[in-house]
């Protein structure tokens, strides 16, 4: 029987990427990379940021 303390220590804590626009954590589905999940979030919630000609970042 494994030691409970050792298994807790070895358990990885999942750190969620956070949106810099709405400050909410971005869920990363199983099998997805963090980058793909972040792009999906920005395209669905903050489309203007992804399309600079529609009012995204000032350049």
pTM of the model: 0.62
pLDDT at 5 over 80: no
Task: Compute the average pLDDT of residues 47-54.
Answer: 82
In the prediction, which pLDDT does 14 show? 65
Q: Are 49 and 57 in contact (CB under 8 A)?
A: yes
The per-residue pLDDT for range 7-40, each reduced to its tens digit, is: 555 556 667 899 999 999 999 999 999 999 999 9
Look at residue 18 in the predicted model and tell me its pLDDT: 95
């Amino acid at each position: 029987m494994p030691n409970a303390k050792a298994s807790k220590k070895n358990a990885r804590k999942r750190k969620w990427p956070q949106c810099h626009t709405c400050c909410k954590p971005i869920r990363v589905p199983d099998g997805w990379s963090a980058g793909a999940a972040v792009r999906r979030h920005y395209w669905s919630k903050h489309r203007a940021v992804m399309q600079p000609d529609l009012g995204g970042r000032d350049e």
